[in-house]
Amino acid sequence: MGDRRYFGTDGIRGRANSHPMTPEVALRVGLAAGRLFMSSDDRRHLVVIGKDTRLSGYMIEPALVAGFASAGMDVRLFGPLPTPGVAMMTRSMRADIGVMISASHNNYADNGIKLFGPDGYKLSDQVELKIESMMDQALGEGLAPPDKLGRVKRIDDAQARYVEIAKASFPKSLNLSGLRIVVDCANGAAYKVAPTALYELGAEVFEIGVEPNGVNINAECGSTHPDQLAESVRLHRADVGIALDGDADRVIICDEKGQVVDGDQIMALVALDWAQRGLLVGGGVVATVMSNLGLERALAAAGLSLERTKVGDRYVMERMREGGFNVGGEQSGHIILHDHATTGDGLMSALQVLAVLVASGRRMSDLARQFEPVPQKLVNVRYAAGKPLEDAKVKAAMADAEATLTAAGGRLLVRPSGTEKLIRVMAEGDDEALVKKMVDQVAAAVKAAG
């Protein structure tokens, strides 16, 4: 992954109007991906493009459109639509490629470009590298002749189609009538679709984060700032709160008392319910190395496995497809329900939690603690240069901490951040003091080396 110039773990991402998040790079992405996905037959080729509510979307979108259209590809623009909605519509409209313009849970100053193949899945590393290798070609190469340029149209019913698909994932025999739900849309891509879907399924909906102005996406709201949601749930005496992030591929739930429920608890809730109803396939759940040991133990107690991947929802999805799993995700609230979606979908995950809530007749606070989390501590250590993880003293500190924690039934995880000069040191185990001591020991060694 070190040789990538544009693509990171989740598409291309950066600060708006600085490299690589510039109109020029967007134009080159459109040209390269357009050329790569144009097959030799003479049918019309199609790309669909959605975005969140960032101000810079108005700059990135036309540049992408120009690139794709000049490669000869027809373009359909959805406007604001959740990332999973773009993935779905790519497949549903038989497009050759789908694009989402979003930096997910980051603040408005960042933006990103995510690409989906015709099957609705994120592109593989190999295809991304192929696009990268074509992006630095001269801009005049491989252009369509004047009569073969792509045509561009806005699609007005994309949101309505996504709402219907989301509602169809909710069990037919149930509805949400009588439930008071607060939904926080992070002033992002789901600001119309999420409240609509919940209302049409029968809920009484209190909405926040539904007034995007281009710069307030994820600002003190959404799944990364659940305080406002918790406060609103208590204020409206709601049964449950749902917070999405800026592109609505993540969800955090809060119970009627305003207590936050993370992705690990949501995965446990859905997986154990599905297992009981004979809907879980693969015999377990796929999660990342960050998921709590408590989740692993709760699943094991029910005879289910927890398979771990490296951090990133694309790696979770790859493992799910390989092993035939239908539930997976990340502690951060990226939940992938493969029966319904090809990528993390905050709204659909929330609907599955609501289905358990309605069918069980219990309160959200009873369902929210599927397991007691094992004490977990994470420290991010900044470094200036070099490779601190290759330092002999750091290696020795890690080996010592790992041996100590493993002997006590815990674990250590040390990994470099994919986007910043940070080393993340995480440990967990039943002995909180020991966990803290080992994390501090490794973090101090990294600091000294960096």
| 170-205 pLDDT, tens digit each | 999 999 999 999 999 999 999 999 999 999 999 999
**Alpha helices (runs of H) in 279-360, residue ranges in sequence order:** 293-301, 313-323, 346-360
**Is there a catalytic annotation at residue 104?**
yes
* Mean pLDDT on 135-142: 90
Q: How far apart are the first and last CA of the chain?
A: 22
* Mean pLDDT on 80-109: 96
pLDDT reading at 72 higher than 90? yes
pLDDT reading at 6 higher than 50? yes
Predicted confidence band of residue 9 (pLDDT cuts 50, 70, 90): confident
- Strands laid side by side in the 11-15 sheet: 7-8, 11-15, 110-116, 97-101, 46-51, 74-80, 152-154
- pLDDT tens track for 202-226: 999 999 999 999 999 999 999 999 9
* Mean pLDDT on 361-380: 95
* Mean pLDDT on 412-427: 88
pLDDT, residue 1, reads 40
Task: Work out the percent of the chain whose per-residue pLDDT is above 90.
Answer: 90
- Of 112-121, 184-193, 379-388, the range with the lowest mean pLDDT is 379-388
- pLDDT tens track for 265-300: 999 999 999 999 999 999 999 999 999 999 999 999
**Annotated active-site residue in 56, 70, 102, 104:** 104
pLDDT reading at 3 higher than 70? no
- Strands laid side by side in the 305-309 sheet: 305-309, 284-288, 327-329, 335-337
Do 108 and 55 contact (CB within 8 A), yes or no?
Answer: yes
- Of 142-151, 302-311, 412-421, the range with the lowest mean pLDDT is 412-421
Predicted confidence band of residue 314 (pLDDT cuts 50, 70, 90): confident
- Of 12-16, 244-248, 403-407, 419-423, the range with the lowest mean pLDDT is 419-423
DSSP letter assigned to residue 122: B
* Mean pLDDT on 150-160: 96
The mean pLDDT value of the chain amounts to: 95
pLDDT reading at 41 higher than 80? no
Task: Work out the percent of the chain whose per-residue pLDDT is above 70.
Answer: 98
Question: Which pTM does this prediction carry?
Answer: 0.92
Q: Which residues pair with 413 in a beta bridge?
A: 426
pLDDT reading at 92 higher than 90? yes
- Of 51-65, 145-159, 377-391, 431-445, the range with the lowest mean pLDDT is 377-391
Q: How does strand 240-244 pair with strand 180-184?
A: parallel
Q: How does strand 305-309 pair with strand 335-337?
A: unpaired
